[in-house]
Amino acid sequence: MKTWLIDTGPLVAYIDRSDPAHEAVASVLEPFAGQLVTTSAVVTEAMYFLGDSKGGAMALAELLLNAGARIEESTQPEQLVEAAQMMDKYGDTPMDFADATLVLTGEALGALEILTLDRRGFATYRTTKGKAFRQVLR
């Protein structure tokens, strides 16, 4: 089964129809029949951005539930240390915590395809073994 990592931006854009990236995200997300994987940090960030939108948090929760998304834990102390090290490494890009958790999750699962709006970041980020990510949104 094909696995895609999914970042905060596409989750928000898909829920918020007024987002400029909504159509582009919907055009790749709706036909996707594989496994979506994200992290608890990404979900937290997306919930924050959708918090002011009436029904936004519930729409996100339902999207993840209906898609059968896999949400990886990312806040255990060891994971925090790994993420902080990754953030230091990419401090000039910069990399936020949610991005770091996606990189680490992608490496752990061998999943290198990512649905993201952060083209610059994920064109630069590499796993600890030097593997690049493939952005599915062109």
Q: What is the pLDDT of residues 20-44, one digit of tens each?
A: 999 999 999 999 999 999 999 999 9
DSSP 91: T
Cα-only R_g, the chain: 14
- Give the whole-angstrom CA distance, residue 32 versus residue 103: 21
User: How far apart are alpha carbons 92 and 104 in whole angstroms?
Assistant: 18
The domains of the chain are located at 3-135
- At position 34, the amino acid (one-letter code) is G
pLDDT, tens digit, 9 for 90 and up, residues 52-98: 889 999 999 999 999 999 999 999 999 999 999 999 999 899 899 99
pLDDT value of residue 67: 96
Q: Encode pLDDT of 2-21 as tens digits.
A: 999 999 999 999 999 999 99
Quickly list H helices, 1-138.
8-15, 22-29, 40-50, 56-66, 77-89, 97-109, 119-124
Tell me, what's the pLDDT at 71?
98
CA atoms within 13 A on the CB side of 111: 24
Q: Which two tokens stand for residue 25?
A: 């995200």
Which one of 2.60.120.650, 1.10.510.10, 3.40.449.10, 3.40.50.1010 gives the CATH number of domain 3-135?
A: 3.40.50.1010
- The reply to whether omega before 94 is within 30° of 0 (cis) is yes
Cα separation, 101 vs 39, in Å, equals: 7
Confidence of residue 121 (pLDDT cuts 50, 70, 90): very high
Residue 119 pLDDT exceeds 90:
yes
Per the CB < 8 A criterion, the answer to whether 122 and 9 are in contact is no
The reported pLDDT for the residue numbered 138 is: 80
